[in-house]
Structure 1
Amino acid sequence: MFKFFDAYSIRARLFPAIIAAAPSLAAVTLLISWKSFGLSNLIATVGILVLLFAIADFARARGRAIESKLYAEHGGIPSVTMFRRNDGTIDAGSKDRYRAFLAGKLAVAAPSPADESANQAGADAFYAQCGNWLRQNTRDTKKFPILFTENITYGFRRNLLGVKALALCLNVIVVTVCTVILWRLMWDTDTPQGSRIAVVLVVAVAHAIYMLLAVSRAAVWDASTAYGRELILSCESFLAQSSSPVRKATTRKSTSKAENISPPPG
């Protein structure tokens, strides 16, 4: 339960749910009296929380389904395709250094240019292992803040796209209900109820425009490639640590001490 309130879950899962349900939340907030907290207010509050949790879970599931389709359309996961020698997103020299480093960590041989040319699927399997190792070893958000930010952006866009259809359906329902209420009130703007409904309609229109124009597969893929690139570039941090002067000095000092130790008498 508490994991739902961590930074990633709030920004990449809860926020898409709030955006998806924005017109519904506006309707509940404005059309129910909150001057006193009664049974109706309690039911509305619990209903909002349950609705947000349900939408967040649905958005995550639908986002994952869309994710797999996007990967299939673009030839694979960005963290794999960018490692390929025929991809120019990251320069060849850097990728050679990353392959050598990750091959050492995985204790497997990195594919040579000839290997990759003859068996791209086999090379991709190695690159997938590299991605898994990097994801497991870059979970420290303080050491890898840029990567964490890119991951949140990708998760937010993916989950929001996953809930796009549901959000627009909720929007239509809210607009229909508000229109019927306004028709019965004969658009009496002098009444508080009519003014509140007008606000809900404005929110619904702005919400629909945002969902239709800003939430797209292209936006999700753009965030996915940004995250994949940053994940591969995180190798620089590990390479810098392994070649730092302090680390080298410590290694030399330990080696020197070991050499000066006299062997035990035979």
Structure 2
Amino acid sequence: MDVLRDFFNPYERNARLYPALITLLPTFVSLYCFFEELRDILTTVIGSIFFVAVSYLISKVSRELGKKKQDTLIIEWDGMPSTRFLRHSDSTIDPLTKQRYHTFLEKSIANFRCPTLEEETNDKENTDKVYDSAIKWLLTKTRDTQKYSLLFRENISYGFTRNFLALKPWGLVINFIILFGSIGLIYKRYQFDFNKVLPIEWVSILISIVIIILQLLITKETVHSKAKAYARTLLEVCDE
């Protein structure tokens, strides 16, 4: 069953589900903290198969938004880092290491030849397709998440930050509404007599603020950094 399979898949859970749940956390917490009559319902829902189904749905939304965001970022980055790092014109990886990677790929992939610097300069689009094919081969080679556990963790880290960034605009709107709504409820109930505010209600306010700060801290640069770390680890497979 796809729902249960994805729910227990480490990548689906960590890279796609958790960004969405963290984004929506202030909503759940505020409903629980400010509305006592909803607590039994929320407790039941979170412990039921309904929660699994909702989690599956929001993980798919997170995935789709993340993929769309990635398409935009690839244009801004001038290609995925894994492809860029193989180019002769890119200086991220030193020339000797890069030549070693090129040699490994040419020996390991049937009918494969890395473009020359001249070919790359004259036809960047097609030479990138050659590099992309090498990256696809590496991805296929490294599917064993136990053997390539570090690469798997880097992939999850990149996926999490990418999807969290994709959810950021919607998440900020929702969480600011929740924050100001919670403040409004405190005024309505206590007229800002903070001594009367329940500790559980302060917890709700604090969680909303923390999640908003976390959302603001995740930027395109954060995602790019994670993408580059993943690309480096992937290409290091060429040194095995």
* Interval of TM-score (by shorter of Structure 1 and Structure 2): 0.7 to 0.9
Work out whether residues 7 and 56 of structure 2, in 8 Å CA contact, stay in contact via their aligned partners in 1. no
* 1:112-159 Cα distance to aligned partner (Å, 9 max, x none): 233223322222111000000001110111221221111111001000
In the alignment of these two chains, the number of paired residues is: 234
- Pick from 222, 225, 230: which aligns with 2:225? 222
How far apart, in 2, do the equivalents of 1:178 and 1:48 lie? 24
Match of residue 44 from structure 2: 42
What does residue range 155-166 of structure 1 map to in structure 2 within 5 Å?
155-166=159-170
Q: Return the letter of the residue paired with 2:70.
A: E
How far apart, in 2, do the equivalents of 1:50 and 1:171 lie? 23
3-state SS, counterpart of residue 113 of structure 2? coil
3-state SS, counterpart of residue 89 of structure 1? coil
Largest Rg, 1 or 2: 1
What does residue range 24-173 of structure 1 map to in structure 2 within 5 Å?
24-33=27-36, 37=40, 41-43=43-45, 49=52, 51-104=54-107, 105-173=109-177
What does residue range 198-237 of structure 1 map to in structure 2 within 5 Å?
198-212=202-216, 214-237=217-240
Q: CA RMSD in A?
A: 2.6
What does residue range 4-15 of structure 1 map to in structure 2 within 5 Å?
4-15=7-18
Q: More deviation in 113-122 or 72-81? A: 113-122
Work out whether residues 147 and 227 of structure 1, in 8 Å CA contact, stay in contact via their aligned partners in 2. yes
Runs of 4+ in 1 over 3 A off after TM superposition: 31-37, 39-55, 187-191
Work out whether residues 63 and 162 of structure 1, in 8 Å CA contact, stay in contact via their aligned partners in 2. yes
* 1:150-192 Cα distance to aligned partner (Å, 9 max, x none): 111100100000111121122122223322322221245566x
Match of residue 244 from structure 1: none
Shift of residue 40, structure 1, vs aligned partner: 6.5
User: What TM-score, normalized to structure 2?
Assistant: 0.86
Q: Structure 1 residues 106, 29: closer, same or farther in 2, change over 3 A?
A: farther
3-state SS, counterpart of residue 234 of structure 1? helix
Question: Between the two proteins, what is the percent identity of the paired residues?
Answer: 27
3-state SS, counterpart of residue 21 of structure 1? helix
Match of residue 258 from structure 1: none
Match of residue 263 from structure 1: none
Shift of residue 78, structure 1, vs aligned partner: 0.8
